[in-house]
Structure 1
Amino acid sequence: MRLRRPHLSASAALVVSALGIAAYLHLPESDPAKAATVQDAARAAIGQQVPAPAAPRVTARPRPRFPARLPGLGPKTLAQVPAGTRQVLLVTGAGRTSATAEAVLWQRVGGGWRPGAVWAAHNGYRGWTDEHYAGDVHSPVGVFGLTDAGGRLADPGTKLPYHRSGAFSVSGTGFEGEPLSGAFDYVIAINYNRQPGTSPMDGTQPMGANRGGGIWIHVDHGGPTHACVSLSKSHMRQLLRALEPADHPVVVMGDVASLAR
């Protein structure tokens, strides 16, 4: 009597074949990754849908939180910052009689203030004063508008009105014997005892000549200034390009203790 072999459907044969491949590869049951691969092959062989791999979880990075108020400034100083100002160059002196400082450009973003890089700066030879007079070689403490720029070199791309002139030149040496040449390659007028909306070269002094004037942010020459604030040439270019007249930029400047009042 002839024995009949069991009949396997095509689908079952493919499953058996896939299982045979698994046995041939000697896949241990403890290796779920390889086992899953074989199972997927078996499903595909009989026409079942292979589940798509789960998408990796993406953890959203928290949005940076910026301070709601400018750090280091007390109520008296903050009250002088105009309500519509959205850019503040904060120049903080190391001490009342120090000629070195740090400058940071802060930008109003939503409900907070976003800081820029910290730049080294110089200020007046004798430090800071609440009441500046001509020739006292102190920088004035306070909040002043930044509306006009200029320099000996071509406009580097600022949105402020820019007056280029060869008159922006200086020679000689500074308080520490450093050459002053190139210090006025780029300047931004600080609106202390001057008429806003005019060239930094304009000599109008609303408070009188005895209260000094011509106080600028200009290129650093490696030493103290008479009353100005100085930054490196590359930082001056960055500052000129960053200032937005529509943001009503100001400089807030002084020693740590004075600004904290």
Structure 2
Amino acid sequence: MALSEREKYDYVHNVLIKKFQLTQNSNCSALFDLDGSLLVVSDETRRQFGIENILTVLNKSFHLSNVTDENIAILTGFSDQVNIEAIRAACEKMIKLQQIVVSRKVPVSFISLIPRGNIFSSRLVSYIPIFHDSGELVALQTYSSYCNLFGITEYLTILQEKDLESVTIKAYDLPIKLTPRQHEILFLLVRGLSQRQAADVLNISRGNLAKITVESICPKFEIFDADTGELIDRAIKLGYHKYIPQSLCRASIIVLDNDIIDAC
């Protein structure tokens, strides 16, 4: 038998929130209702995110209607249209992931590359469904922690703090000349992303990425048997893992659950 709205409310506010406040303050964590409204955040979340500012801007909810240019600029420090569009797309993807957790009742993990205060950082984030003792889904909890994603933080910090040319190596510096798209694919692969994850980051199909890798990139490294492992080894020896294309220096969400990627 389904819970009544009153039973859900009582359980969330008298059990979940009280338990959260007792056990989660040292974690970077938050609790949402099934509509995306924020119920409670930990002290650590307040410290790391300046959460009072976030609550004021977003009216305590994480909905598409709140992902406006003005709110993005306030929260991230970016006001140029290119970064705003990338951040908006990343936020929309996070909202979609919340909806997937609610509809499928499964946890989801991803890496978030969204700037705050004009500084890029990478965070490992998990969305966890929370159930009533009856088995009915009643809330969603998030956990996040900093992670070092293939050195991207250092590159992005340099880009923001110094007036430098594009991080992409100039053609005459490259041991083997690649197109911008080939460079993006190779960089992501040599830094440990799977083909599916790399395709998700680049917003292309996995088949298209595999075709470019095998038919265009491998031959340039004198690899003719589609051995991507050998490609990665040779690329690392030539230093391709050290240089990120500037086109990748943008907000993005990297979904870690292969079964979820195609649903985004």
State TM-score, norm by structure 1: 0.31
The structure having more radius of gyration, on CA atoms, is 1
| Higher fraction of strand | 1
Greater relative contact order, per chain length (Cα 8 Å cut-off, separation 6+): 1
State TM-score, norm by structure 2: 0.30
